[in-house]
Structure 1
Amino acid sequence: MQLSARRIAEHVAAGELSAVALFDALMERIAAENPRLNAFVHLEPEAGRAEAAAADARAARGEALPLLGVPFTVKDNIWVGGRPATQGSRLFADFVAPQDAVAVARLRAAGAVFAGITNCSEFACKGVTTNLLHGPTRNPWNPELTPGGSSGGAASAVAAGLSPLALTTDGGGSTRRPAAHVGVVGMKPSAGVVPHPIGFAEPVFGNSVVGQMARSVGDVALMLDALAGPDPRDPQSVTVRGRFLDLASKPDPTGLRVAYSPRLGLGFAVEPDVARCVERAVRLLEDAGVPVEEADPVWPEGAGESGLMALQFAGLASLYGDRFRAEPELFDPDIAVQIEAGLGTTGAEVARALHLREEAYRALAAFFTRFDLLITPTTPVTAWPLDQLGPATIEGRPASPRGHAVFTPLFNHCYAPACSIPCGLDDRGLPVGLQIAGPRLSDARVLTLAAVMEEMIGWSAMPPMRAG
């Protein structure tokens, strides 16, 4: 899938490319590559081909929709009407979504063609993409490694050329980290930018958003243009101004106050290869005349994922604790540990975590009175072996199973936009991601700097399996 989503839509609208021919070629590629990647867990080629034929018919009638004929995938925890939606869980093995999620409906209204459902970890609550129902998803750069999680199926598919666009979720980095591990772009919009009133209940109320994944910032912006806008059924949803694609197509960083925080002010361990790649990208930005100041947010005591994980544990316990007590064998053991922790969490502990989240929100807001945007690593490590929750050590220090995930969750808790872009390869030839974050509802500004840096970095690397 070499063409961008924007070019696909333009060629289909002009009658220069058949959406059906494109879809058939995509299905052939998926058939060839998915057996070793396990990126897709559900495909309906005939139904998708009918959608592609409808796109060709719309083009013949002179319609020029922004995503006309562009294939897209949907993560297994987002509803597609009439299709399975399992959340990677045996509990939902037979569940069929009764209707489209708002995001799916909006992509279809923009002319996009549903291509399949991608794998995720159980309840999208692990940093790797494994589950008891569908098995593990593999990284196209090295099938012995993980693509991260929980949107690993989407990431693997986009990186391997099995879809130009992917619809994901991000409750603590589940879009951005897999994007970093496979060398694609992953966007977590501000809370409320993409409404999500239809679908499964989220374990961490307010944190999870519908994310976007593509091979370029421009395609992510194009996708977000189709998705953004209020819905009266979602109390968090907001109206946002401007067209994201226009800003990403002609990005102007003039006047932006940019900060760079190598360890996010919390002393996180970072592998030297990752630090070098991110630092090199920051220097390119400075060489282009955009001033960058090294500065850290001043977080409240206890900030960081460990102080806030009680919210996820308690949320999982509230949703699935009764079923877990009755049938523990149905659950991924890694998720069982989280549910057990949630069952033992007190109301006072949940309240403390909520107060800490508010303090973190105010701390980041104070930081963004001095700066417009913040650059950090997306992850402190590159991809690790498939059978591990995370690397045992990072920068020579012992690492917890969530040590790889430390740079992303605070932006969820603060409802802020953040985008990961590829910024180089480590010494093993694996992709490194750079994260750009801003204050809530500064999504356009985040994408502007992402587009600027994407052009400066000149990323064009592909997984070795795609060579030639």
Structure 2
Amino acid sequence: MTSRNNSAREIAADVTAGRTSAVETATAALGRIEAARALNAVVTIDPARTLADAAAVDERVRAGEKMPLAGVPIIVKDNIWVGGWRITQGSRLFADFVAPQDAIAIERLRKAGAVIVGIGATSEFASKGVTTSQLYGPTRHPLGPTLTPGGSSGGPAAAVAAGLVPLAIGTDAGGSSRRPPAHVGVAGFKPSYGAIPYGPSFAEPFFGLSVTAPIAADVSDIMLAFEVMAGTDPRDPDSADIAQKADDIAGLRIAFSPRLGLDIAVDDVVANGLISTVQRLSDAGLHIAHRDPVWPAGATEEAIMPLQHAGLAALYGDTFRNDPDVFDPDIARQIERGLSWSGTDVAGALVASAAIANAFAAFFTEVDLLLTPTVPCVAWPFAQLGPDMIGGRPASPRGHAVFTPFVNHARLPAISIPCGTDANGLPFGLQIIARRGQDRSLLRAAGHIEMMISE
């Protein structure tokens, strides 16, 4: 019997009970990946390694081992180390790099019985909002071959949305595993900074911001993956244990901020869709107040972007000076700009980052959950860094990313779940944010909200 394209929970139950095998499940996933090559969501496969790993899981099952992800096929983003696999960061600089070991999160997933069936596409160095690279080309949206799923975790998100796998693992330093899920209609979770140990991996241009982020069709599978990966590890000095108790949603103070308290453009279909969703949640019994965070003067994404540019320049500036053409032109521009920033500019960005974190901390002394849009628009053509217009205004290349980066700088947990589509069926998402360390309460609440939206 071959496995159906079920949830991670169902697959693990079937494999554990002997109704199917990890080898059968992995074989089926590899077949789906092959059939969806035009999507370009999965950039590397190693069928022999995958099937050998699946066979080892089957042996563990036969030996009586209980594994929460037994036989679950997963896609891992192309900037997370998977020992023995080619991991490139979407960069020609790393085209032949083979990871020497697993990242801690991957080690834990394997121990839980997950089977890696492929590596998901990312933009170069996970540093832009569309998933294209000179090494692999564009990843396409499952609902339209000319559209982008967003970035930088576009490959993992598109793989889940297309039904290639039930679960994928991305990274998120500014929204990379919330915005693509919102654009393709699945769920993406950014945990609190440190809740899931990070690395061993490549040198990170996003100092103190990036996290390992599960992507799945629903919140329950994300919760399952999070519990497998979470928990402190001495190899990551920033890792930390978080609250075990998950609060009941009925007792949570919930706020809705349609523009996150910022002067940002939002397409009418998204704005109206979020208002309708919040009204449905209120009608279902949730107590939701309209309330915006209060930001310090000058709190914008532009104020904090020098950190990304300077990080890229610190890592790759010398290579850029010698051979700028080896880089994606969009990344080259970021590196060039990073080389131009002064120490004072970078320090100013750190000051702005800390001020944003403090403002969010103050907000969450009086609120438990914050609801916002995840994205201000639906997917756009992959040849563009962003849509030309949002909310009737000319949009900057980062105009599509406005709702997510502040969360990273405050190191808070946040999740995107689907909440509507436009007239063409293109999805957008609801972002739910909580204070740092309240990951389990956030996930529990998100599961309830997900059910309320779908009813």
Q: Indicate which of 5, 10, 14 corresponds to 2:8.
A: 5
Deviation sequence 1:77-108 (CA, Å, 0-9, x none): 00111111110011111111111111110100
Given that 2:80 and 2:199 are in contact with CA atoms closer than 8 Å, whether structure 1 keeps it comes out as no
1:361 aligns to what?
357
Counterpart mapping for 1:9-28 below 5 A: 9-28=12-31
Q: Aligned residue for 1:140?
A: 142
1:304 Cα deviation after fit: 2.1
Equivalent residue for 2:421? 425
Aligned equivalent of 1:299? 295
Per-residue CA shift, 1:364-411, capped at 9, x if unaligned?
Answer: 111111100100000000000111100011011011000000000000
Aligned length, in residue pairs? 452
Q: Is the 8 A contact 2:150 2:183 kept in 1?
A: yes
Deviation at 1:2, TM superposition (A): 3.5
How much does 1:11 deviate? 1.2
1:97 is aligned to 99
Superposition TM-score, scaled by structure 2 size: 0.98
Shift of 1:117: 0.4
Structural mapping, 1:166-177, within 5 Å: 166-177=168-179
Deviation at 1:287, TM superposition (A): 1.0
Give the deviation of 1:253 after TM superposition. 1.1
Check whether the contact 1:187–1:220 (CA below 8 A) recurs between aligned residues: yes
Equivalent position of 2:446 in the other structure: 450
Instruction: Map residues 247-396 of structure 1 onto 2, 5 A cutoff.
Output: 252-396=248-392
Deviation at 1:454, TM superposition (A): 0.7
Q: What secondary structure sits across from 2:432 in the alignment? A: strand
Of 405-414 and 20-29, the range deviating more from structure 2: 20-29
What's the counterpart of residue 32 of structure 1? 35
Please tell me whether the aligned partners of residues 295 and 356 of structure 2 are also in contact (alpha carbons under 8 angstroms).
Answer: yes
Mapped to 1, the partners of 2:58 and 2:389 lie a distance apart of: 52
Deviations 1:134-153 (A, max 9, x none): 11000001111000000000
* CA distance in 1: counterparts of 2:39 and 2:221, whole angstroms: 23
Tell me which residue corresponds to 1:198. Answer: 200
Contact 2:92/2:134, CA 8 A, preserved across alignment: yes
Deviation for aligned residue 1:128: 0.2
Q: How many angstroms does 1:254 deviate by?
A: 1.2
User: Contact between 2:293 and 2:360, CA under 8 Å: does it hold in 1?
Assistant: yes
Decide whether the 8 Å contact of 2:53 with 2:115 is kept in 1.
yes
Task: Map Cα deviations across residues 173-209 of structure 1 (whole Å, 9 max, x no partner).
Answer: 0000000010000000000001113001111200111
| Cα separation, 2, equivalents of 1:365 and 1:85 | 36
State how far apart, in whole Å, the 2-side matches of 1:93 and 1:51 are: 24
Percent identity between matched residues is 57
Deviations 1:248-282 (A, max 9, x none): xxx84111100000000002111011112212221
Give the superposition deviation at 1:313: 0.6
Name the CA distance, whole Å, in 1 between partners of 2:274 and 2:66: 39
Contact 1:281–1:453 (Cα < 8 Å) also in 2: no
**One-letter code of the match for 1:268?**
I
- 1:152-163 matches, cutoff 5 A: 152-163=154-165
Q: How does 1:79-90 map to 2 (within 5 A)?
A: 79-90=81-92
The amino acid across from 1:41 in the alignment is: V
Q: Secondary structure at the match of 1:436?
A: strand
The letter of the residue matching 1:314 is A
SS at match of 2:138: coil
Alpha carbons 1:316, 1:338 under 8 Å: kept? yes
CA apart distance, 1:294: 0.5
Match of 2:126 among 124, 127, 138: 124
Partner SS for 1:254: helix
List, as ranges, runs of 4+ consecutive aligned residues in structure 1 with deviation greater than 3 Å: none
Q: Is 1:86–1:92's contact at 8 Å kept on the other side of the alignment?
A: yes
Normalised by the length of structure 1, the TM-score is 0.95
